[in-house]
Chains A and B, each alone.
Chain A
Amino acid sequence: MALPLPPGLTPPEIAFICEMELVTIIPRQRLEGLELLGGPLKPLNPPQRASIPLWLALLLKRQRRANIVPPPWLSPDSLSAILKYETEIDAFSPPPRLPPLPSGTSLVFSPPFLPGSTADATADALPYHWLELGSMLLEAAPEDFDDANEVRKLLRGLREARMAKLRQGVEVLDAGGGVKMNGVGGMEVGEARTFITGVVDGLRKIGKSREEARKERDRENGYSPSQDFDDDEMDMR
């Protein structure tokens, strides 16, 4: 069997993606520059801070070659403010502001390749990998936090508040899908995926015959929603 896993990402896989996020470290030992597969790594010269991927920061931390600087949003003040929002408003708290779009058809970057967890990141929004990143940092570098226990408590509170929202959100799901979930986090998508897509797919199957009839009518009337792009791409049946 080529892949004995169902569609979707497992929690370790989501954590793996999160490990590509950039974080700020304070090196304790020098390290020469390296040509890594994911891009060049500049030399590390204590005490100059550097931005490196989380997987490498965790490796250095384990070897006591660096300390990690928790991002601004992973602090008791920021998390309390966000938790307050989460308990007062129905929607998820908004994600960090996006950088301007590159021009033309350049590659658009998205998490984990947006700088949301370095020392100069925003303090007032949870980035996509907030939960995984917060958990991994607390586990690997609790002494690099001013108040690890408080942060841990607040993360737990946020998780609960947001899980409740996901569960409630199920009520607005319908057969057309088309549910907006802005601000949702990576691990949250992973956990809710089967359940949410299951509900949507189930509703769709119930309404199938009505939909088929509607589709036929629309097509007879010359209406095709897939006209906006190259038909070659769409001709996959």
Chain B
Amino acid sequence: MYGEIGNKLVQHAKRTQSLAHLPPYQTELVRAVTREVRDLDKDVGTILEPFAGSFDPSTEPAAACALLVNHLCMRRNKRCLLAYHRTRTDKLEEMCWGGIDVLERQQEQQANKTGISDDVGKIGADGAGSSLSPEEEEYVRQYSDLLAAYKGQWTDIDLTGSLEPPKDLFIDVRVLKDAGEIQTEYGAITLTKNSQFYVRQGDVELLIAQGYLQRLS
């Protein structure tokens, strides 16, 4: 029955929405749906051929019906393909916004799968293990550039920064070991042992984790 493969694609799309990662691209399904559309189009041509351009639907209800069904199927398949591809590009964009280097991650996953860690340079040469189609890899590259260009117009704002309202921006810390000069978002401050500071949390999280600073509650 026409449209069944399209349904499978839509199911894949639905699943993708609820997953944290991107499942492998369904190349065969995509090809099959596209093939179906071309077959339906051929059928249309076959139906219309005997009329040589002067087809009147009101006098040929059976043919008109068949044409309508074909047309609706083709459009439905188109929507399924669009939905499938769009769901995946949405996910890829989400990763870009989250600062994830999608292509790098793909390479790591491939290396892990094939167990060859120094082949990290390959980008899906044989496609094995890559979840993205080659077209999707190209899309990610281009979208990252687009995002970087848009972000670049708002550097003061830090467009991909936190979407939660700021809270407890500054915290009290004591310096446990001399840490020299550190860079904060706005400039340098010098951390000498036993001194206490009221500093931006974001600037010192790492130093707290490393044991140079102690947070005072």
Q: What is A's interface to B at a CB cutoff of 8 Å?
A: 1-5, 12-13, 15-16, 63
Contacts and interface: CB of A to CB of B under 8 A. Distances in A.
A13 B163 CA distance: 10
Contact of B97 (A2, A16, A63): A2
A64 B96 CA distance: 43
Contacts of B94: 1, 4
B163 A3 contact: yes
> What secondary structure prevails in chain A residues at the interface with B?
loop
Contacts of B205: none
Nearest to A59: B170
Interface residues of B, number: 9
Nearest to A2: B97
A16 B90 CA distance: 29
Contacts of A4: 94, 163
Given A2-B97, A4-B94, A12 B164 contact: yes
Contact of A15 (B90, B165, B198): B165
Nearest to B96: A1
Interface of B: 90, 93-94, 97, 163-165, 167, 198
A12 B167 contact: yes
B97 A12 contact: no
A1 B167 contact: no
Given A4-B163, A13-B165, 10 more contacts: A1-B90, A1-B93, A1-B94, A1-B97, A4-B94, A5-B163, A12-B164, A12-B165, A12-B167, A63-B198
Contacts of B198: 63
> What secondary structure prevails in chain B residues at the interface with A?
mixed
Of the listed residues B90, B164, B165, the one surrounded by the most CB atoms of chain A closer than 10 A to its CB is B165
Nearest to A55: B166
Nearest to B167: A12
Nearest to A11: B165
A16 B93 contact: no
B168 to A, nearest CB: 9
A12 B97 CA distance: 22
Of the listed residues A1, A3, A12, A16, the one surrounded by the most CB atoms of chain B closer than 10 A to its CB is A1
Contacts of A63: 198
A12 B166 CA distance: 9
Contacts of A5: 163
A5 B167 CA distance: 19
Contacts of A2: 97
A63 B168 CA distance: 12
A5 B198 CA distance: 32
A229 B59 CA distance: 50
Contacts of B93: 1
Nearest to B166: A16
Given A1-B97, A4-B94, A16 B163 contact: no
Contact of B165 (A1, A3, A16): A16
A64 to B, nearest CB: 12
A2 B93 CA distance: 8
A185 to B, nearest CB: 18
A3 B90 CA distance: 12
Contacts of B90: 1
16 contacts: A1-B90, A1-B93, A1-B94, A1-B97, A2-B97, A3-B163, A4-B94, A4-B163, A5-B163, A12-B164, A12-B165, A12-B167, A13-B165, A15-B165, A16-B165, A63-B198
B20 to A, nearest CB: 13
Closest 4 CB pairs of A and B: A16-B165, A1-B94, A12-B165, A1-B97
Contacts of A1: 90, 93-94, 97
Nearest to A17: B165
A189 B208 CA distance: 39
Nearest to B165: A16
Nearest to B93: A1
A63 to B, nearest CB: 8
